[in-house]
Structure 1
Amino acid sequence: MTENLIRYEDPAPGVARIVLARADKHNAINPALIFAINDAFDRALKDDSVKVIVLAADGRNFSAGHDIADTVEQYQQAMQDASPGVSTWSGFNEPGAHGWYAAEKEGYLESARRVRNVSKPTICAVQGKCTAGALIYAWVCDIIIAADNAVFSDPVINFGMPAVEWLGHPWELGARKAKEFLFTADSWNAEEAHRLGMVNHVVPLAELEDFTLAMAQKIASKPAFALKLAKEAVNKTLDIQGQMNAIDQAFSLHHLGHQQNFRLFGYGMDTTSLPAFASAPKKEG
């Protein structure tokens, strides 16, 4: 399954490249892809020859975000199919709010936290659309390189939700621009993202892979332990400022939004904004 969803490459000494390979689905993030990404990062982390990890994607778009299931049951079954026999996620296959919360907490929040805290420097290369759940994977990387055609958006307020599961918005954009980004559900281009400090560099699309690899090689030339210490120092500064507590608290509000939508629409999102859902009745579990 993993081989069909991602590629793991060694493009240069000291560099591992993890490539999302669901281009036919615009690299939409489903549970199986999440597990594949986790496994690939674990592989790179365990390999002492790897000093820098690049996250990239095939195709026109980095990722269209969440690959939304038609029902709660389908979502939970997808989690089960993606990692059969997993016993550490108490409750994720339970009905109702219990299962939905457990699946999203492990599938999005905790997976994002693990990537964010990987002890090796990480670089995300973004082209085309980086939508909703895809923002999570870009934001938890240490450096973001955007192609000049990159477009960033978190439109989930249209579906009755406050934001995606990892509320990095205030930290990436500043409080006022984060509110604008969320309230309007507008799409912002790479230059705007760079102006706000969310993106490190904007490069022509044709140069994205080479530019990213050159930066990865430059970083890989530095002492591995010093890189780990530098990353931890910056991450701990954010932790002391309250980033992790804020993101955890926002995740609870995210699920308050889901439960409101369950009460109103029988599904975790406002289905009146999702035409494909309108014809099929949904139930909570």
Structure 2
Amino acid sequence: MLRIEKEGRVAKVVLDRPDKHNALNAELIQAITDAFRQLSTDASVKVVSLSGEGKSFCAGADLNYMAEIAAFGKEENYQDSLRLADAFESIAACPKPVVAYAHGACLGGGAGLLAACDYVVSALDAQFGFTEARLGLAPSVISPYVVRKIGIGHARALFLSAERFDAETALRIGLVNRLGDSADEVVRMLLENGPVAMAAIKKLLSELPSWDSGQAREETARLIANLRSGDEGQDGMKAFLERRKPRYQEE
């Protein structure tokens, strides 16, 4: 269903339903939530990667799962949708940087998983789409993450048309950050950075849109002051001046 592999300070979360193109069902959705909540508090982990086993990253909702939820009443559907929302939020709220590798089919909720991540590397042959409208549905639960990534204009066009698009288009609109054969280079790059700083950056970017100019002035000044005077920032600045590696690169 899902497995976690640890290599040094990297936790690799792998969707593991290759015979179903890693399509989402209730069990996988819960496994994603549990995995990212666990890794969020694991001090031994600095970077998290997310990928899919087999031919696809994630082809959206599993057909059997869709048959089940089609029979649900309104309240059951609401509770099920909240559990789905928890899965996406567990990724977005993870204080560690989350890097995804997209390949094959990345449709519906699969594209939503990518949007919840911080950095997405894609194979050139990956196919994307927010195809819910073809089923008389809407990409509702994933919309906060997708709109943050690609903007309301691209979301409006792609949600309403339900068209599929390629990796180069995904790169152009911001759903994907770079094209490549793996996410390894990005993971190595992130391992060079301070973990406290990266967690602070994620929190800053999450809260910044809700601040007015006065609050932004105060909060951003307070954040950089805290980082400059903290152990990690002190070591990072001294290491730069002394032309040595900071401790967080040697751990």
Scaled by the length of structure 1, the TM-score of the pair is 0.69
Q: CA 1:239–1:132 in 2, change beyond 3 Å: closer, same or farther?
A: farther
1:20 corresponds in structure 2 to 15
Query: Quick one: distance in 2 between partners of 1:76 and 1:42?
Result: 29
1:124 corresponds in structure 2 to 100
Q: Secondary structure at the match of 1:171?
A: helix
Q: CA 1:24–1:69 in 2, change beyond 3 Å: closer, same or farther?
A: closer
Query: Quick one: distance in 1 between partners of 2:191 and 2:137?
Result: 40
Query: Quick one: distance in 1 between partners of 2:94 and 2:112?
Result: 15
1:39 corresponds in structure 2 to 34
Shift of 1:196: 1.2
Q: 1:68-217 residue pairs with structure 2 within 5 A?
A: 68-69=63-64, 74-75=68-69, 96-106=73-83, 108-167=84-143, 168-203=145-180, 207-208=181-182, 212-217=183-188
Query: Quick one: distance in 2 between partners of 1:30 and 1:160?
Result: 19
Shift of 1:146: 0.7
**Does residue 46 of structure 2 align to residue 51 of structure 1?**
yes
Choose from 6, 10, 22 the match for 2:6: 10
**Does residue 40 of structure 2 align to residue 63 of structure 1?**
no
Q: CA RMSD in A?
A: 2.1
Shift of 1:135: 1.5
1:270 corresponds in structure 2 to none
Q: CA 1:236–1:111 in 2, change beyond 3 Å: closer, same or farther?
A: same
Shift of 1:240: 4.8
CA contact (8 A) 1:132 1:164 kept: no
2:198 corresponds in structure 1 to 227
Query: Quick one: distance in 2 between partners of 1:180 and 1:71?
Result: 25
Q: Secondary structure at the match of 1:174?
A: helix
Structure 1 counterpart of 2:62, one-letter code: D
CA contact (8 A) 1:130 1:150 kept: yes
Q: Which runs of 5+ in 2 are unaligned?
A: 213-251
CA contact (8 A) 1:152 1:187 kept: yes
Structure 2 counterpart of 1:60, one-letter code: K
- Regions of 4+ moved over 3 Å: 68-72, 74-77, 238-241
Percent identical pairs in the alignment equals 27
Aligned residues: 211
Deviations 1:104-134 (Å, cap 9, x if unpaired)?
112x112211221111111111101100011
Scaled by the length of structure 2, the TM-score of the pair is 0.77
Shift of 1:45: 2.1
Structure 1 counterpart of 2:36, one-letter code: F
Structure 2 counterpart of 1:114, one-letter code: S
Q: CA 1:165–1:69 in 2, change beyond 3 Å: closer, same or farther?
A: farther
1:277 corresponds in structure 2 to none
Query: Quick one: distance in 2 between partners of 1:143 and 1:71?
Result: 29
Query: Quick one: distance in 1 between partners of 2:70 and 2:86?
Result: 17
Q: Which runs of 5+ in 1 are unaligned?
A: 78-94, 242-285
Query: Bigger relative contact order, structure 1 or 2, given CA contacts below 8 A and separation 6+?
Result: 1
Q: 1:223-262 residue pairs with structure 2 within 5 A?
A: 223-240=194-211
Structure 2 counterpart of 1:155, one-letter code: T
Q: CA 1:31–1:240 in 2, change beyond 3 Å: closer, same or farther?
A: farther
Shift of 1:69: 3.6
CA contact (8 A) 2:36 2:90 kept: no
